[in-house]
Amino acid sequence: MKIGVVACDMIKRELDKVITAAPDITDVVYLEGALHVYPQKMKETIKSKLDAMKDKVDIVFLGFGYCQSLKGIEAEVDVPVVMPQVDDCISILLTPERYAEEIRKEVGTWFMTPGWAEVGADMVIKELHLDRALKYGKDPLEMAKRLFTHYRRGLFIDTGVGNEEYFVGKAEQFCGVFNLTLEETTAESTILAETLEKCRRMAPGSQK
């Protein structure tokens, strides 16, 4: 059995822990985290990667949430695909139940996994499509601050990938820029491991 992986760079550290001792994974491609800013373009990019992999593997683990455009992508490609059935990467790493619980605590929460903490304000600028403001002589970061006023809390999620001091430091910097109160939590999601195991069971010719 040969399993391919196409995944978002935002969950690379967490997924690497799951696949590092998996000899049946033969091809791994990580795509930049900012792709979800343009959902349709992201979908076409992912489909092209899946198409390029279809003759090399038996099945592909797609390491993305739905991200506004990927629900049902399994039926649009010529290789078997298994992906987490959740909305986004925060749901993958925190679980949808914990995600909803934290939103109930504070609607204005900006969630930061290690990957999100590291990219910081740059990702917010991309999320809000403010990188185009430079063309008009405006400061994207200052515009982001004005549009970010409904957020109150920054929640750093320790996913167990190590180097916690570094990532918390990045989260503190982010919260300082956007005037958020930093809180921390831990995540013990098994969604990645469970989806990879489902991928093995569903691979053509699998005996599991």
pLDDT class of 134 with cuts at 50, 70, 90: low
d(CA 76, CA 95) in angstroms, rounded, equals 26
The answer, yes or no, to whether residue 127 has pLDDT greater than 80, is no
- pLDDT of the residue at 207: 57
Strand intervals (E) in 22-58: 25-31
Q: Which is more confident, 88 or 35?
A: 88
Segment 9-19 shows an average pLDDT of 94
The answer, yes or no, to whether residue 81 has pLDDT greater than 70, is yes
Give tens-digit pLDDT for 32-75: 887 888 889 999 999 999 999 999 999 999 999 999 899 999 99
- pLDDT of the residue at 115: 94
d(CA 87, CA 191) in angstroms, rounded, equals 12
Q: Is 27 helix (H, G, I), strand (E, B) or coil?
A: strand
* Exposed / middle / buried, residue 94 (Cβ in 10 Å: 0-12, 13-18, 19+): buried
Give tens-digit pLDDT for 144-166: 788 788 899 999 999 999 999 99
Q: Which is more confident, 139 or 179?
A: 179
- pLDDT of the residue at 141: 82
Domains and CATH numbers, the chain: 3-87+190-202 (3.40.50.1860), 96-186 (no CATH)
60 bridge partner residues: 4, 81
> What percent of the chain is modeled with pLDDT above 90?
73
Nearest to 95 by CA among 111, 106, 73: 111
- pLDDT of the residue at 125: 79
Which tokens in the block code for residue 84? 């987490």
